[in-house]
Amino acid sequence: MILRSIHIALVIKLLFFSDQIIAQRLDASDCESIMIAANVEVTVCKSIGNSEYYYLPTNLRFAETQRHDISFTFLKFQDKETSGSILHFLITWGLTGSQFQKAQEQLIDSKGIHAKLMGAVIPEVKNDDGFVIEGTSKLVDILNRSMVHIGKATPMANTKIAASFQLNQEDTQFLSNAIKNNQKDLKNTYLTLVFYLNYPPEPYRTYKLTKNFYELLNHSL
């Protein structure tokens, strides 16, 4: 009896989730950009057939720790035979609670009292190009060749994506200098998440969410 109840509950949740995905067929002619903070802009699009709106992926940032620091660790090591470093960070995307509330208020001001912001759109992602490190800095090559693990782009807002790197001595020094100088190389190294959005009757559109290391490291959580 308990297992049957659990099964029924799971079916109901899956049906609800499927309805949400179907409802997120976006009307490309009814989208609006909203500036909700000095460095956070969000685009909201109307769902076809109703007055519900969904926001497109935005607010790419390093995730925060329990102490509200950015989740970015750069640890140098040295022993008798070798030296180098370990770099690990977590990134996420999506509006915070207060940002979501501001977006809802501005949407109502613009579209009327019946407009409702439902949450983030659930985009399609592909495993082969979902999370990319790109740019013109030498740091891009360093990170791509030093990569130990890089997570997949997530279609769910405010979930975390991990990335880990092991750098040799020379690359460690370059990254250390880049962080210390905090300018050119950081500004020319980008983390990019690649999504695909449903705008019927057209095929899925590519949507990129990107931010450079300078902005990420200096972002106020």
Domain coordinates in residue numbering, the chain: 2-218
How many beta carbons lie within 10 A of that of residue 49, not counting itself?
A: 9
Least confident of 27-31, 108-112, 140-144, 210-214: 27-31
φ, ψ of residue 69 to 5 degrees: the values are -95, 160
Peptide linkage before 201 cis (omega within 30 of 0): yes
Q: Is the pLDDT of residue 5 over 60?
A: no
| Whole-angstrom distance, CA of residue 54 vs CA of residue 114 | 14
Residue 127: per-residue pLDDT: 67
Shortest CA distance to 55 belongs to which of 47, 64, 45, 63? 45
Site of tokens 């040799």: 168
Across the chain, what does the average pLDDT equal? Answer: 86
Which residues neighbour 204 within 8 Å (Cβ) at sequence distance 6 or greater? 124, 196, 197, 198
Burial class (CB in 10 A: 0-12, 13-18, 19+), 119: middle
- pTM value > 0.85: no
pLDDT digits (tens, 9 = 90+) for 134-187: 999 999 999 999 999 999 899 999 999 999 999 999 999 999 999 998 789 999
1: confidence class by pLDDT, cuts 50, 70, 90: low
Output the six-digit token pair for 125: 């992602």
Instruction: Supply the Cα-derived Rg of the chain in whole angstroms.
Output: 20
Greater confidence (23 vs 103) lies with 103
